Structure 1
Amino acid sequence: MKNLNICIDIDGTITDPYFWLNIANKYFNKNVTIDKVTEYEIDKVMGITREEYYNFYNKSKFEMHNDEVRLRENAREIIAELIKTNNIYFVTARDKDLKILTYSYLNNNNIPYDDVFVLGTHYKVNTAKELKCDIFIEDCYSNALQLSENGFKVLLIDTNYNRKPLNKNIIRVFNWNEIYEIIKEMPLCRKAI
Structure 2
Amino acid sequence: MNIFSLTIGIDIDATLTEPYYWLPFTNEHFGLNQKPEDMTCYDLAVNLGISEEEYLAFYLEHGEKIHRHSPIRKEAPSILQDMYPTHQLYYITARHPNMEKVTKDWLNHHDIPQNGLFLLGSHDKVGKAQELRCDLFIEDRYENARAIAESGVDVLLMDCTYNRDQEMLPNMKRIENWYQVQDVISTMEKNRLTLKNL
TM-score, normalised via structure 1 length? 0.94
- 2:89 corresponds to which residue? 88
Local SS of the residue matching 1:91: strand
Aligned-partner Cα distance in 2 for 1:2–1:91: 22
- 1:147 corresponds to which residue? 148
Q: Tell me how far 1:165 sits from its aligned partner.
A: 2.2
8 Å CA contact 1:40–1:140 kept in 2: the answer is yes
Aligned-partner Cα distance in 1 for 2:123–2:16: 17
1:1-38 Cα shifts (integer Å, max 9, x gaps): 87110110001001010011111111111111111011
Code of the residue aligned with 2:144 in structure 1: it is N
Local SS of the residue matching 2:78: helix
Q: Tell me how far 1:142 sits from its aligned partner.
A: 1.0
Code of the residue aligned with 1:5 in structure 2: it is T
Structure 1 unaligned spans of 5+: none
- Percent of aligned pairs with the same amino acid: 38
Matches within 5 A, 1:1-193: 3-66=5-68, 68-163=69-164, 164-186=166-188, 189-190=189-190
Q: Tell me how far 1:84 sits from its aligned partner.
A: 1.4
Q: Return 162-171 or 123-132, whichever deviates more.
A: 162-171
Local SS of the residue matching 1:48: coil
Aligned-partner Cα distance in 2 for 1:166–1:51: 33
Code of the residue aligned with 1:57 in structure 2: it is Y
Structure 2 unaligned spans of 5+: 193-198
Aligned-partner Cα distance in 2 for 1:190–1:87: 17
Q: Tell me how far 1:169 sits from its aligned partner.
A: 1.9
Segments of 4+ moved more than 2 angstroms: none
TM-score, normalised via structure 2 length? 0.92
Aligned-partner Cα distance in 1 for 2:183–2:145: 20
What is the root-mean-square deviation in Å for CA atoms of aligned residues? 1.5
Task: From the two aligned structures, give the one with the greater helix fraction.
Answer: 2
Q: Tell me how far 1:96 sits from its aligned partner.
A: 0.6
